[in-house]
Amino acid sequence: MSKNHAPSLMRKIRRGLKEGRNPDDLLVNAKSISDYYYRSLSFYLLAPHFSSKSKQYKQVISLANSDIDRVQQPWKRIELIGSISKLLKSFSDSNIRNELYSKILDKVGNERDKDVKEFLLKYSKNFPDIFLNDLLSLSSKLEGSEFETGKIIIRHGVNMKSKLSLIDDLLKFDSKSRTKLLGYLHLQLFKSNRNEDSKALSKALETATTQESLLYLVRVCSKPSDIALFEKHILDTSPEDKLFLLISLTSRADRRNLSELAKKLYDKAEGQYTMLPESGVKNKLRIKLDLTAERLGGIHIPSKVKKVKNLSEISDSGKHTLGLYNTYGGNWNHPHFKSIFKASNLCAAFNLDLALINFPEISPEKLVKEIKKEMRLPNEGYTKALFDKSRVQFFKKEINENWSGSVVATTANPDTSKSSLPEGRLCMVMGLGPKGLPKSFVNKTSYHFELTGTNVAFETGTAMGAISSHLGMIN
């Protein structure tokens, strides 16, 4: 390796500082680095080891910031500024540290929107809370990405237990993002057990102008006082919209295990229903009311109930197996239940078994119950039917091919030496989550399958349907 290898020289400087070497000597080494990216990082490594009033300190900061501008590729420049934001945590003088944070944020503001978005998503967590307002200001200017980046900044502020309210900053966002971000702030404050009032939710309701935004706010209502605030807000809405939102609030209260409140809301919804004139919309709302009543349990459903369609019979075993490899972090959440619900329907339709890999532990009974609740089903769905036929199996990592058939990794970038599929029963495994299948799983699997022939990657739902259809056509 060359003696002038920039990453090695930077690591040498870091090691020298840990060993207590004279920073003046190491500064000479830093100046010898030809790569602007690593030279700037090296200067920032050295800076806190000089007095902030010294000539050397002023020199290294000036050189470091100048080198940032010399990095040509925008993505690399953003990565460099992000790395510097992490290094600044080691500066003991808070005034100096904050001054430098301010300077690098100014540089970020001059970058392209897509690079600013990348920075906020990855590096907002490195900034102290006094910069939350500046971070949100950058986020508010990213057309189409305001909500995604704003959520990251809000979560960072709440995790830091910041005393800044952020509400005034969020009110500066465009109308759609403003409402949702205020609601998201309210939800995060509740989750962090902050004994706050519902000011964020109140402001969110004031700014909500569409049914879509109101439905989002239903999902962030977390305690009885939230629901009471929401009810007060919709007093003067149209009768049909009010009924629709009351039904949604009933479901939300039920999910929060506020059973008595849910039943009271249901009664109010029934009362509102009787005030509607006969129409197609009223009939649809009747169906929603009846489904809500069934989920609540212990509520008499009026006689005009739409008969629930029976599920089609399924065979005792499937021809092949659809495998879902979970790459979402954490415990069970809505995306898990929604994906298994879709997969169960596809398995029933195309006569497939279902392999669930790397999912958190859960009993079949609870899984069926949660899917019914999350997807608002009038019955237990095809997941229950598949379990009853022993056509669903959980696997931690290794799949039992005696049950599933030969394991095949589905990927948009297959290894051509693994593209010939074996005879007999197959188990095609797809990744569930934004990361797709883990590389380790793909690499160790003996068979690869690329669906399109053109290496086009599909989103999860499309891929699931296409793979199931393909398996269903293989004899």
**DSSP per residue over 101-162, as a string?**
HHHHHHHHHTS-HHHHHHHHHHHGGGS-GGGHHHHHHHHHTSTTTHHHHHHHHHHHHHHTT-
Pair 275, 194 in one domain: no
Q: In the block, which residue shows the tokens 């506020």?
A: 258
Strands (E), 310-391: 320-326, 352-357
Pair 371, 250 in one domain: no
Pair 341, 462 in one domain: yes
Cβ atoms 261, 296 nearer than 8 A: no
Domain-located, residue 62: no
What backbone phi and psi angles, to 5 degrees, belong to 414? Answer: -75, 155
**How much is the pLDDT for 304?**
46
Domain-located, residue 127: no
Please give the angle made by the CA atoms of 181, 103 and 112, to the nearest 5 degrees: 60
- Here the tokens at position 63 are 């050189």
Cβ atoms 103, 97 nearer than 8 A: no
**How much is the pLDDT for 309?**
65
Closest by alpha carbon to 224, among 199, 194, 256, 188? 256
Pair 274, 390 in one domain: no
Give the integer Cα–Cα distance in Å for 119 and 107: 11
**How much is the pLDDT for 305?**
46
pLDDT in 10s for each residue of the chain, 475 residues? 456 799 999 999 999 999 999 999 999 999 999 999 999 999 999 999 999 999 999 999 999 999 999 999 999 999 999 999 999 998 999 999 999 999 999 999 999 999 999 999 999 999 999 999 999 999 999 999 999 999 999 999 999 988 888 999 999 999 889 999 999 999 999 988 875 678 999 999 999 999 999 999 999 999 999 999 999 999 999 999 999 999 999 999 999 999 999 999 999 999 999 999 999 999 999 999 988 988 887 565 554 444 556 788 999 999 999 999 999 888 898 899 999 999 999 999 999 999 999 999 999 999 999 999 888 888 889 999 999 999 999 999 899 999 999 999 999 889 989 988 899 999 999 999 877 899 999 999 999 999 888 888 888 889 999 999 999 999 7
Pair 411, 469 in one domain: yes
Domain-located, residue 383: yes
Pair 392, 267 in one domain: no
The boundaries of the domain holding residue 324 are 320-473
**How much is the pLDDT for 34?**
94
Domain-located, residue 13: no
Cβ atoms 383, 368 nearer than 8 A: yes
Tally of domains within the chain: 3
Q: Centre a 10 Å sphere on the Cβ of residue 469 and count the other Cβ atoms it contains.
A: 13
Pair 288, 197 in one domain: no
- Here the tokens at position 81 are 């500024």
Domain-located, residue 181: yes
Domain-located, residue 138: no
Pair 206, 289 in one domain: no
**How much is the pLDDT for 175?**
85
Domain-located, residue 458: yes
